[in-house]
Amino acid sequence: MRVLLSTYGTRGDVEPLVALAVRLQELGVEVRMCAPPDEEFARRLAGVGVRPFPVGPPVRDMMRGTTLPSAAELARYRTELVDAQFDVLPAAVEGCDALVVAGLAQIAARSVAEAAGMRYVYASYAAVNLPSPHHAPPPRPGWPEPESGDNLTRWEVDAHHVNAQFAEVLNGHRATLGLPPVDNVRDHVYSDQPWLAADPVLGSWPETPGLDVVQTGAWVLPDERPLPAELLAFLDAGAPPVYVGFGSLRPAPDIARRAVEELRAQGQRVLVSRGWADLDLADDRDDCFTVGEVSHQRLFGRVAAVVHHGGAGTTLTAARAGVPQVVVPLQVADNPYWASRVAALEIGAALDGPTLTDDTLSVAVKTALAPETRARAAELGARIHTDGAAVAARRLVEALG
């Protein structure tokens, strides 16, 4: 049995599919994956024995600036990515029994699966990405936000934007494959039974007529890498520090600096993650330390709180560790959604957006560090599921069998 997995995005998009790949391999499935051509993704796939099929431009190159590419640049990238997918996926999927994709960027995938006559599964990492009257669509970079309207109206506008971007190029390729055109590109990609690879304790799916969502739980693997000796020495030298990191995203230049200043003003030690933004805010004082890529699963259990951008992976890992969070959402994709979940569950605090004021940050930090917040975070952490990738792998193998 062979399965092709496909996604395009940062590490937060790739890692869940790596987890699914490993669990599928344990069931005897041969796994291939389409992913961005960045070297770190190629190394990651090689490390778990998955054959890579690079698609599209390197993601890290697109994330080098402090702001996202312009709307015109994003439109061009998206169209070129669809063309690249139709170039690569037919060969990558040859001999496979199923194609599992994650993310709306996988515009070509269902058509390729349809032409090959194989099973297609779409997966989302957050409930907010799927249409429901219970929430509005997530912000999509380069597309204007609806000015008003109820959630269903906003989802209709969202579908219009997706069609405007992709309908012509998608249906052109479908015609070449001898397939009929689609009139709703977004819902075509999502399918009638998408999978939700998110923890039900942290972000459950609100029942919605017309969409049969299968919530498997989040797709994660144990990360047992030991922490570096220098980091262990810093952790052992005093009280648990507060972690500050923004993952693959590049925050506004002053966000991390102001967060460190506020934490220091409250008497906290600080641990700064460089991330793709290559942050380095440590100075000659011994209360701040900068760290590169390390196991968050090992680290977060030893920090007082986690200040981050609201990525699905970081939110989940902090929640599993039972540590309070301060989310500074960067207003892209599911960041605002995970910020709202942290606030609603009272396991931390969330800012309204990436613009900070001294008062809002101060209050957020104090809320997260309060004993009652830590108690709630610890209680919720004990209820987080850890078997989502295994659940999804078994479900797929049973369906194919």
Q: How many CB atoms lie within 10 A of CB 110?
A: 23
Per-domain boundaries in the chain: 2-220+386-400, 229-381
Q: Structure pTM?
A: 0.94
Tell me whether domains 2-220+386-400 and 229-381 share a fold.
Answer: yes
| Tokens, residue 6 | 């496909």
Q: Determine the pLDDT at residue 64.
A: 62
Q: What is the CATH number of domain 229-381?
A: 3.40.50.2000
Per residue in 16-71, pLDDT (tens digit) is: 999 999 999 999 999 999 999 999 999 999 999 999 999 999 988 776 655 667 88
Which regions in the chain score pLDDT beneath 70? Answer: 63-68, 248-253, 276-277, 281-282, 284, 331, 353-358
Contacts of 150 (CB under 8 A, 6+ apart): 133
Kindly report, residue by residue over 232-254, the tens digit of the pLDDT. Answer: 999 999 999 999 998 766 666 67
2-220+386-400 adopts what CATH topology?
Rossmann fold (3.40.50)
Residue 158 neighbours by CB under 8 Å, 6+ apart: 131, 137, 140, 146, 186
User: How does 318-351 read in b/e, with b if 16+ C-beta sit within 10 Å?
Assistant: bbbbbbbbbbbbbbbbbbbbbbbbbbebebbbbb
Query: What was the pLDDT predicted at 400?
Result: 95
Distances (CA, A) of 379 to 50, 215, 324, 373: 36, 22, 11, 10
pLDDT in the model for residue 73: 86
Tally of CB atoms within 10 A around 384: 19
> What pLDDT was estimated at residue 357?
63
The confidence score (pLDDT) of residue 360 equals: 85
